[in-house]
Amino acid sequence: SPAMELPPSHFSAGRAAAVALGYLRYLRGGPGRGLELRALRRARRQDIDDVGHKYYLELELEDVLDKGRTVNCTAEVLYPLGSESTAPDVQVTLQGELGSTEQADVEFYNQIRSLEKELVAENIPDSHGNVPPELEPIHLLAWAASGYVIWQNSTENTKFHLAQVKHVKQVKRSDEDLQFDYVLLLHEMVSQEVMPWEVAVLWHPRRGIRVLPGS
């Protein structure tokens, strides 16, 4: 059937947008960039026989560290039929460029590498919603990691949001990567459930973020 226009405020459009944003955060996020949805401009839904439901979205994004810079993005989110365990298929196209994070990435990397002992922190943000400036990159890295978890675990009936980093500890490695083991609290907005997720994250300025399999 042809794609049907949805009001951008429609709950199913918002759920699909959350998946697209999660995927994009995982793809392009990191300690020096935090992508936020500024506006969902347009949404269409198509029911494809024997395949699933496909959403076509037009999003406006902003970087929390660079509020003046917005970038438009189109996304397609396909929820495959009949399988709650298969991640949605997501494709995103950015119109325009995100600001460079090269300098911030290298500074963060060197700063973590120079620590006497491994970083450990908890409750980011704290109960007042505050993130200490020195933990902002750790928080944004968690955003990117949560993007992967959200993309992999979303269905048409869920909407996940990273509520808090409950705990993070850096793990010593013999290679060039930084590793952080996170316990993330994800808020599922439909059921109102809050779920802890354990994820191990590798990061390097040149290679970006990787979420370790099995986590």
Q: What is the pLDDT of residue 68?
A: 82
Q: What is the pLDDT of residue 82?
A: 82
Report whether 44 contacts 55 (CB < 8 A).
yes
Residue 174's identity, in one-letter code, is S
Q: Can you read off the two tokens belonging to residue 172?
A: 């010593």
Print pLDDT tens along the chain (215 aa): 888 999 999 999 999 999 999 999 999 999 999 999 999 999 999 999 999 999 999 999 999 988 888 999 999 999 999 877 789 999 999 998 888 999 999 999 999 999 999 999 999 999 999 999 999 999 999 999 999 999 999 999 999 999 999 999 999 999 999 999 999 999 999 999 999 999 999 999 999 999 997 54
**How far, in Å, CA of 32 to CA of 119, rounded?**
18
Contacts of 175 (CB under 8 A, 6+ apart): none
**How far, in Å, CA of 195 to CA of 184, rounded?**
8
Rg of the chain in Å (alpha carbons): 18
Q: What is the pLDDT of residue 61?
A: 96
Find residue 179's DSSP bridge partners.
Answer: 171, 202
Question: What domains, with CATH codes, occur in the chain?
Answer: 4-95 (3.10.450.10), 101-211 (3.10.450.10)
Instruction: Work out whether the CA dihedral 54, 10, 30, 183 comes out positive or negative.
Output: negative
Residue 102's identity, in one-letter code, is E
Q: What is the pLDDT of residue 214?
A: 59
Instruction: Say what the pTM is.
Output: 0.94
Q: What is the pLDDT of residue 181?
A: 97
Q: What is the pLDDT of residue 130?
A: 96
